[in-house]
Amino acid sequence: MDNRNVMGWMVVGAALGAAAALLLAPASGRRTRQTLGRRWRKTRTEGERMSRRLARRGEAALEKVSDLRDVVTETAQAVIQPFTKPASR
């Protein structure tokens, strides 16, 4: 499962949990709101952490692709170079 799916399911789970808490909560409205607020902040913090981790992974992948592009370009130029030299007369 990729990280986008995980993030999506995490948001869905948080929303379902919040709805269930509102409907089934034995606590007062104020206490329920406080609990939901804490859970929301925790979920948001986890989402932000995952977002930063994904950004770092994306940057690392981009760097690897850039390095690979450079190697392929250099190799292609080395292979083509003998065929592009002007013929001596």
More confident residue, 17 or 2: 17
Sign of CA dihedral 27, 30, 41, 5: positive
φ/ψ (deg, to 5) at 5: -65, -40
Q: What is the pTM of this model?
A: 0.49
Tell the residue number behind the tokens 């929301």, with chain if given.
40
Residue 10 is predicted with a pLDDT of 84
pLDDT digits (tens, 9 = 90+) for 17-67: 878 877 776 777 788 788 888 988 998 999 899 999 999 999 999 999 999
Residue 1 is predicted with a pLDDT of 57
Averaged over 62-78, what is the pLDDT?
94
Q: Judge contact between 7 and 47, C-beta under 8 A.
A: yes
